[in-house]
Structure 1
């Protein structure tokens, strides 16, 4: 079995896919959990790409990051045509939100991918760490299972954090 490694500057590590299975069926809980993960990543000086299905979902995540913690700011931005037209196709924000249909989003090079989309981005192999969040919605769980199989076949180290069995 071939294992793929990346150099973080600090240590040599295996590419990792983390799956968080939530108790709640509400999609709002999925976004709230994503905000918590993004805030933690930002505090660790990681760059993050949040991958969504469509513009409205990207805007919803943008709004959630603004509202998440009124006492702290999480700098973030959405991929736009302007970022696609820039010299390096990147935004200047450490947290970037994009969609499946944006070429600029596909060109983001970040430490962490938070995938909220039904489809992994074409460039998912470039990320050192990928996070999938599943609430107790049948279609989301089914999609995340497919992503698990795809990432496992791409030789990612798999980690599952199952909160669905915890007492409420």
Structure 2
């Protein structure tokens, strides 16, 4: 069964949320995982793409925005209702609702910032997962 992790950030800045998601993707990549970062829009996906290039000067995380079934990078960025083109094991969700395809992943990372709408949407997702019996862990970062 999919394991769900909520990462509750102390900041409400979108840039810090994006940076945290990129560091999480970097860590998972170095552990050998295949990661799908799910965003709300093409523009948001572009900003995550840019942020992944700038994590640290000495770091490289191979990634691309998914636009075909030919994507082979270990880190893919998708948006709206686009499903990953292949099986991957970690989903980093940067939207305000759970993607309908979340259960195909071994792990889901829900990144919640300190913005009230983000927290409210996070509470709803927490209840959604809890009511369905998923194992949930919470980290305050």
Task: Tell whether the structures are fold-level matches, with TM greater than 0.5.
Answer: yes
Return the alpha-carbon distance in structure 2 between the equivalents of residues 118 and 135 of structure 1.
11
The TM-score, its normalising length taken from structure 1, stands at: 0.79
1:90 CA displacement: 5.1
Of the candidates 15, 38, 50, which is equivalent to residue 51 of structure 1?
38
Q: Which moved more, 1:53-62 or 1:107-116?
A: 107-116
Return the alpha-carbon distance in structure 2 between the equivalents of residues 107 and 151 of structure 1.
24
Gaps of 5+ in 1: 5-14, 84-88, 164-168
Return the alpha-carbon distance in structure 2 between the equivalents of residues 120 and 42 of structure 1.
22
C-alpha root-mean-square deviation of aligned residues, in Å? 1.3
1:119 CA displacement: 2.3
Equivalent in the alignment of 2:119? 141
1:153 CA displacement: 2.4
Of the candidates 96, 105, 117, which is equivalent to residue 95 of structure 2?
117
Equivalent residues in 2 for 1:54-73, closer than 5 Å: 54-73=41-60
- Does residue 20 (structure 1) correspond to residue 18 (structure 2)? The answer is no
Question: Greater CA radius of gyration, 1 or 2?
Answer: 1
Equivalent residues in 2 for 1:72-151, closer than 5 Å: 72-80=59-67, 83=68, 89=69, 91-102=71-82, 105-151=83-129
Return the alpha-carbon distance in structure 2 between the equivalents of residues 108 and 141 of structure 1.
30
Gaps of 5+ in 2: none
The TM-score, its normalising length taken from structure 2, stands at: 0.93
